[in-house]
Amino acid sequence: MTTHNLHDTVALLTRTPAALDALLRDLPETWTLRNEGENTWSAFDVVGHLIHGERTDWIPRAKIILQFGEARAFDPFDRQGHVRESKGKSMEQLLDEFARLRSESLDELRKLNLRQEDLEKRGRHPALGVVTLSELLAAWVVHDLTHLHQISRLMAHQYREAVGVWSAYLGVLKCQGHSA
């Protein structure tokens, strides 16, 4: 395990939109619109959620830490925000929008010109309590990976029966998800 490294963080955050684009663009709806059952998300929902995070979560929270420190808690994140973001849109529109917003977020991050002492600054999460800017940026990366993990699982679920006895060897089919 490693400590947070801003260069590594930016490298991964930069690649997520292109990875999702390569996987999901023009993919049949079997993979993009189906979910894992009632009250679960499709890949389409996940991309909408990532868009909502770019708008309201990561950079806005970084700025709250830098401006207010622990004095002002972050605005709570709306876990249903993706419904509004994605209504009436195609997967291709969502992928374009996510790529554009992520690129803008990373531009903003560069403009903040963060030094080590900035990364150690503290803010206040409305539920989790005191956090640092460094932890926020690391969580941004792992949030991308959580949803890549979810997408691979929910897509595999569509072939749960189609693989027959091979399911014994295919780990992703044993994953029950790990949402809070």
Number of residues interacting with a second copy: please give it, by CB under 8 A: 67
Rounded to an integer, what distance in angstroms lies between the CA atom of residue 55 and that of residue 83?
Answer: 14
Q: Give the residue ranges of DSSP H helices in 69-132.
A: 81-86, 91-112, 116-119
Q: What residue has token string 């932890």?
A: 135
| Among residues 42, 86, 105, 134, the one that binds a second copy under rule CB under 8 A | 134
Rounded to an integer, what distance in angstroms lies between the CA atom of residue 172 and that of residue 180?
Answer: 19
71 in contact with a second copy (CB under 8 A): no
x/- site string to a second copy, residues 74 to 93, per CB under 8 A?
--------------------
Contact 123, 64 (CB under 8 A): yes
The span of 13-21, 49-57, 83-91, 108-116 binding a second copy (CB under 8 A) equals: 13-21
Identify which of 140, 102, 107 has the alpha carbon closest to the alpha carbon of residue 21: 102
Q: What residue has token string 């930069």?
A: 14
The span of 42-50, 60-68, 100-108, 132-140 binding a second copy (CB under 8 A) equals: 132-140
Residue numbers at the binding site for a second copy (CB under 8 A) = 1-5, 7-8, 11-12, 15-16, 18-24, 27-28, 30-31, 34, 125, 128-129, 131-132, 134-136, 138-139, 141-143, 145-146, 148-150, 152-153, 155-166, 168-175, 177-180
